[in-house]
Amino acid sequence: MTNNNEPGVPAIAAKPAPSAVSRIRNYFLTGLIVAGPVAVTLWLIWWFVTWVDNLVRPFIPVTYRPETYLPVHIPGLGLIIAFVALTLLGFLTANLVGRKLVDVGESFLSRMPIVRPIYRTAKQIFQTLFSSSGTNFRRVGLVEFPSPGMWSLVFLTQSPSAEISARLPATEHVSAFMPCTPNPTTGFFFYVPRRDVIDLDITVEAAMQLLMSAGIIQPGGDDEQKRLATLAETARAAQAARRPETTAAN
């Protein structure tokens, strides 16, 4: 079908206007996308504050609790007390007397058969996660898993210790943690040859979003979409420029 005013140029069918039900659905989904993350964030913050309050409140005398002399319950007192207590504990541990007390407590725990491995493991995990000078879990890579041609995201940590390296094949290995989707707190830990890892130039946060969304949220997704839109627009312009030539040849 051609346009009557410009022979040879195909007519462009008018796009039908969306119905009222379609518009309402789109508005609802847009509002859900905007409000959903905010609601989840506020709920997680409220849950954490309430959890800390419930842990700390039994240690606060009833006389000093805000709800004793205020008509409403004010959450967050337990969180403030926990923050102050942990900061004070860190300050005391930083001096000589505090370090001596910590050493005495660790030596006592190291003599307990069942408690010793649990304490050491927990201590190493906390030191790894909250160390201000550590470089662990700051690199993201790809490993060919679970079969050839299939690739999985991994978080690279430290190199294996000398004892483990001595029993591995004679090549450089790295420690890798492969989280599961959509729950990245579980996964697989293994040593992999460094040459088999493809480094990715993305942050750990972006990789976590990619895993938890099962690939829906892609790193650099906005830039990629803009690039694809530009290419599509260029292609449409080139196709429109060729149409008059094709029509004239016919």
What are 96-119's pLDDT values in tens digits?
Answer: 767 787 778 878 877 888 777 887
Measured distance CA(187)–CA(153) in Å, rounded = 11
Is the pLDDT assigned to residue 173 strictly greater than 80?
Answer: yes
Number of residues in the chain: 250
Q: Is the dihedral of CA 22, 24, 27, 29 positive or negative?
A: negative
State the average pLDDT over residues 169-185. Answer: 84
173 three-class SS: strand
For residue 132 the two structure tokens come to: 């201000």
For residue 52 the two structure tokens come to: 């800390």
Give helix 96-109 / helix 115-130 axis angle, nearest 10°: 140
Q: Where are the domains of the chain?
A: 34-64+75-84, 139-222
Dihedral, CA atoms, 186, 187, 189, 194, nearest 10 degrees? -130
The predicted-structure confidence for 202-227, as pLDDT tens digits, reads as follows: 888 888 888 877 777 777 655 555 55
Determine if the pTM surpasses 0.85. no
Q: Name the CA radius of gyration of the chain, rounded.
A: 30
Q: Is the dihedral of CA 54, 120, 124, 140 positive or negative?
A: negative
Measured distance CA(101)–CA(106) in Å, rounded = 9
